[in-house]
Amino acid sequence: MSTRYISLREARSIHFTMRQQLAHGQDPKLVRQAQQLAAANTFALVAEEWLQINREKWVPSHTKTIRQRLNKNILPWLGSRPIGIITPSEILEAIRRIEARGAHETARRCLSPLEPQAHEQHGHAGGLAIPRDHPSGDDLPRLESYSPYLVG
């Protein structure tokens, strides 16, 4: 195990933060462990778990399509982010990148697994859906309606 050297300023800052946590009745060790766990629970890991759970219900070609869609359109921007801190604006930004290519149907299909109500309708909670109790759960972006017949 190597020793990590930090400046006196950084050490004082860490000390001050831990003292504040103790003053608020929090155990600094438990807070640090929770932060590490949250950082390890990335969107990419949750997406992979979701694919594994649903793989049993889907035909192999559908699983492959969903995986490719996620790998190309969503994971490059959200994959490394901890799932608990992803905001609706980040989701919207990823979806808007897809729409900017003119792939409106792909944008709709990429957003669908992220919507909590989609999972509730089908009788299962979880998956990639942001939980309703998450601060951004009710504020997920909505796509503009798109019809290929209305394009001039």
SS3 state at 104: helix
What span, in angstroms and rounded, lies between the C-alpha atoms of 112 and 99?
Answer: 14
Structure tokens at 38: 């949250």
What span, in angstroms and rounded, lies between the C-alpha atoms of 119 and 7?
Answer: 48
Domains of the chain: 9-18+26-144 (1.10.150.130)
Nearest partner of 35 among 9, 14, 4, judged by Cα: 14
* pLDDT tens, residue order, the chain (152 aa): 578 889 999 999 999 999 999 999 999 998 888 877 766 788 888 888 888 998 999 999 999 999 999 999 999 988 888 887 888 888 888 889 999 999 888 888 888 777 654 444 344 344 454 544 444 444 555 545 444 433 33
Structure tokens at 87: 């905001």
pTM above 0.85, yes or no: no
Structure tokens at 107: 């944008």
Residue whose structure tokens are 């950082």: 39
What span, in angstroms and rounded, lies between the C-alpha atoms of 82 and 43?
Answer: 6
